[in-house]
Structure 1
Amino acid sequence: MKNNLNIVELFSGPGGLGLGFHMQGFNTVVAYEYEEDCIDTYSANFPEAAVIKKDLFQFSDEDMKTLKKLVLQKTGKDSVDIVMGGPSCRSFSSANPKKKQGDPRDFLYRPLIKVASNLNAKYFVMENVADINNKTSDDHHEKKIFHLILDDLYKEGFKYINCDLLNAADYGTPQTRERLIIIATKDPNLPLTFPKPLFFQNSEPRWLTVEEALQDLPKVTAPKDTTAGEHQHLLLQEGKSYVCTQFGDSPKNNYTKYCRGRVGSHGYVTNQADQSTDELYNFILPDHTTRIIKRYSLLREDESQGLLRDRLENELSKEELQALIDAKIISAGTFRQKNRRLPLSKPSRTVTSHVREELVHPVYNRNLTAREAARLQGFPDWYKFEGINQRPYKATSEDIGNGRDFYQQIGDAVPPLLSAALAYELKKNLIEKKVAGYCPQERTSVIKWIIDNGITIQEIKRSRVFDSFTLNDVLTGTIQFDSVRIIQPVLLV
């Protein structure tokens, strides 16, 4: 690792963020994670990395000393190029009805800043949900977590900061997943640029579709479904499970070729090493009851369990609808967003840790396999997930640390192609010795102005400086101002 670009990763999960950086030639020196199954997955795919189980609530000065020794031992240096991570997002996400102010998980970004500062990282990188912008730090709503992060970075010496909301679909992932990325540096000369979206056609988004993503995977339905799929003969019974170990077709588009590990290019992943595989991993079919199969057979494209019930209330008599409810074919519960049939001709909606129950195959009357969910996240097929296929979903803090099944690991991960695009941009700045073309005093003035005035991420993207440039132009260094000019309060439009 002594001659490579090196990273230390916290909250590594199963390695989605790390995989994107590895695709761009970075190496993981040390990764910290608390879930055993995620540790096993990361270790299996990145055997050269030291993967340490650690509750990062308890990251001590002694842990920092141990980390510094490991970095020096493995790289010959006392610093790394990047410290990065995606702290738990459950306390921020709008999908969590139990989120509250003062949740200790709100402040898990602090060990990430601490490690980056102590290792004198050239870049600090943090990923999280966009909802972090709206979460306040206490019941008094005095300070937003987003501004605490910027303020803590600033106080720790990372005075040069930029942030953006990136959509994974813009970088080759067949999923519209928006994520907040914060990058920061202590070096006034390092640019803070973000990768440009690649997947456009005639100035319009040309996002990959679910159909393109699943093109070569087996076309099979649930074992108890009476309507067989085209490749039902590939379905094997192993114990109580039904699996496919062979692909249904050869890859016929750039995305499926990328997933199959073929040499080539997709998005920002260029000159990929040949890791082609003809063996299909993690393709275990859900063995649904006939009741669930019947429910799914009633779903139309992009229709969820709740929308299905709304439609049937208009189409059926009260007696007919009640009969379906009594048979538990139509749910009487409140989980309206569950069981949504994916459209073929669009990207998937956001894949979450609930993906096993949330999404239904676009053609067949079953939920997705873990490998199909991984395809929607942008994981290549050679990337193996360790652990078990499914376990009851953990919803309480007491459950954390006891394992994550394939679906939970996949849904919680950062889309690797989004990560690869970000890694490409940072590598370019590091290797080509890019120098930011701005006045550092102006950039720090902007950051302080954002913190002191509580400016939101959306306002940063929309705001104007001197009537023609955005704040992002100043933060990235794409606009150079005369050093004597003072940033004035800007008009948000």
Structure 2
Amino acid sequence: MVRKPKILGIDLFAGAGGLSLGAQLAGVDVTHAIENHPAAAETYRINHPQTRLIDKDIRLVAPVNKKTGSLSILFGGPPCQGFSTSNQRTRSTSNPRNWLFGEFFRFARFGKPDWIVLENVKGLRETAQGQFEDMILDEFHNLGYSSAVWSLCAADYGVPQKRHRLFFIGRRRGNLPSLPKRGVTHPVTVRQAIADLPRLAVGADVDELRYRISASHAYAKKMRGTRASCTGHLVTTNNDLVLERYRHIPPGGNWTDIPKRLMKNYTNLVDDRSRHTGIYRRLKWDEPSVVIGNYRKNMLIHPEQDRGLSVREAARLQSFPDRYAFLGSIGFQQQQVGNAVPPLLAEAVFRAIIDAC
């Protein structure tokens, strides 16, 4: 049996740690991470105590050298809001946050890692007529890396969510890995993912609660582990008008199901009911979730309860295990979960890389 070499990892723009968790599940030893947001940094630190976290602006951080005698992988997801299809006004070369991917190549130029994995939203491909994708691939080439771009759906890898992400894979020497093999025959549904969690009211603020029922599906059992309770049962408080809107939306429906009289402050939508179907979307029990993203802003609704998702429900739909704690205000926790790379999707990517070593 051929023993696989040890791989050391560095996570840039680490956020709450979804990519790091996936890398660790695949067998990567994540030695360093960089995250500037205070709440996200605290979440990362409490869940990854063995990783040295640098909580500074990445532009002020000196690159880290790899240790001799081991393989190294530089990975992370630069801020993607500027590439998102929901942010049309910022999808251009004039948005300075869209240029932070250049920090990857500053670190790569110095440290010369064996692998680079740059993750981002699928919308990066359409931004500025594809200029960002072309520039990223040119940088790989200029630094001496062969490269590939994978567009993957998280639901194909055991994540109960229809979320597509781009992965730029670069390797200094050797063949590039094959696409990760699908991890499931049938996608995990919302019911299979969250039905065992407690029933909650609008504005629920008791962080830790016991499970409502036993887990019946393998996915929920995996997320729970041996725990009897978990944290994150926090729900946004909504006003009466928003609650009235919720009551009109069936499973799979969205804001177009809401009577016009209740949507007067959405004048730009009421005049064209074919647009912006992502807001006020009620999840369906027996399908994977739609993209979590900024689920508070988009008013993503529980399949049968007239409220938004709790932090833990969203984390389950992102494939974070229940042992994973999120810190900061409810708003910051929601942001961390929504911005994260699903760990099970990340694990599939890193396993494909390790198999190619």
- Determine the structure 2 residue equivalent to 1:208: 188
Instruction: Note if contact 2:11-2:30 (Cα within 8 Å) is conserved in structure 1.
Output: yes
TM-score (norm 1): 0.66
Local SS of the residue matching 1:302? coil
Instruction: Note if contact 1:166-1:178 (Cα within 8 Å) is conserved in structure 2.
Output: yes
Instruction: Note if contact 2:236-2:330 (Cα within 8 Å) is conserved in structure 1.
Output: no
- Determine the structure 2 residue equivalent to 1:264: none
- Does residue 296 (structure 1) correspond to residue 271 (structure 2)? The answer is no
Q: Which residue, out of 114, 117, 125, partners 1:125?
A: 117
* Structure 1 residues 148 and 343, CA gap change in structure 2 (3 angstroms): same
Instruction: Note if contact 1:113-1:124 (Cα within 8 Å) is conserved in structure 2.
Output: no
Q: Distance in 1 between matches of 2:123 and 2:41?
A: 27
- Determine the structure 2 residue equivalent to 1:372: 313
Q: Distance in 1 between matches of 2:14 and 2:69?
A: 21
Local SS of the residue matching 1:9? strand
- Mark the structure with the bigger radius of gyration: 1
Q: Distance in 1 between matches of 2:88 and 2:69?
A: 43
> Number of residue pairs matched?
346
Deviations 1:74-103 (A, max 9, x none): xxx386521001111122111103213332
Q: Distance in 2 between matches of 1:156 and 1:286?
A: 46
Alignment of 1:117-196 (within 5 A): 117-136=109-128, 144-158=131-145, 160-187=146-173, 189-196=174-181
Instruction: Note if contact 1:352-1:412 (Cα within 8 Å) is conserved in structure 2.
Output: yes
Aligned alpha-carbon RMSD (Å): 2.2
User: Residue type matched to 2:212 in 1?
Assistant: G
Cα distance, 1:116 vs structure 2: 2.6
Alignment of 1:53-92 (within 5 A): 53-59=55-61, 63-64=62-63, 67-68=64-65, 71-72=66-67, 77=68, 80-92=71-83
* Structure 1 residues 80 and 113, CA gap change in structure 2 (3 angstroms): farther
**Higher RCO structure (Cα 8 Å, ≥6 apart):** 2
Cα distance, 1:20 vs structure 2: 0.6
**Structure 1 stretch displaced more, 350-359 or 116-125:** 350-359
* Structure 1 residues 12 and 78, CA gap change in structure 2 (3 angstroms): farther
Instruction: Note if contact 1:215-1:252 (Cα within 8 Å) is conserved in structure 2.
Output: no
Q: Which runs of 5+ in 1 are unaligned?
A: 201-205, 224-234, 236-240, 262-275, 313-320, 391-404, 431-493
- Determine the structure 1 residue equivalent to 2:273: none
Cα distance, 1:349 vs structure 2: 0.7
- Does residue 421 (structure 1) correspond to residue 348 (structure 2)? The answer is yes
Cα distance, 1:406 vs structure 2: 0.7
Cα distance, 1:297 vs structure 2: 1.2
Instruction: Note if contact 1:78-1:119 (Cα within 8 Å) is conserved in structure 2.
Output: no
Q: Which residue, out of 237, 240, 257, partners 1:308?
A: 257
User: Residue type matched to 1:424 in 2?
Assistant: R
Instruction: Note if contact 1:172-1:208 (Cα within 8 Å) is conserved in structure 2.
Output: yes
Q: Give the fraction of aligned pairs with identical amino acids, expressed as a percent.
A: 29
Instruction: Note if contact 2:73-2:117 (Cα within 8 Å) is conserved in structure 1.
Output: yes
* Structure 1 residues 242 and 291, CA gap change in structure 2 (3 angstroms): farther
Q: Which runs of 5+ in 2 are unaligned?
A: 270-275
- Determine the structure 2 residue equivalent to 1:256: 220
Alignment of 1:402-421 (within 5 A): 405-421=332-348
- Does residue 114 (structure 1) correspond to residue 99 (structure 2)? The answer is no
Instruction: Note if contact 1:304-1:338 (Cα within 8 Å) is conserved in structure 2.
Output: yes
Local SS of the residue matching 2:222? helix
Q: Distance in 2 between matches of 1:112 and 1:242?
A: 40
Cα distance, 1:119 vs structure 2: 2.1
User: Residue type matched to 2:243 in 1?
Assistant: I
Instruction: Note if contact 2:236-2:296 (Cα within 8 Å) is conserved in structure 1.
Output: no
Local SS of the residue matching 1:359? coil
Cα distance, 1:216 vs structure 2: 1.0
Alignment of 1:197-276 (within 5 A): 197-200=182-185, 206-222=186-202, 241-243=205-207, 245-261=209-225, 276=226
Instruction: Note if contact 1:218-1:244 (Cα within 8 Å) is conserved in structure 2.
Output: no
Instruction: Note if contact 2:207-2:231 (Cα within 8 Å) is conserved in structure 1.
Output: no
Q: Distance in 2 between matches of 1:373 and 1:333?
A: 28
Local SS of the residue matching 2:103? helix
* Structure 1 residues 195 and 336, CA gap change in structure 2 (3 angstroms): closer
Alignment of 1:38-49 (within 5 A): 38-49=40-51
Q: Distance in 2 between matches of 1:13 and 1:244?
A: 23
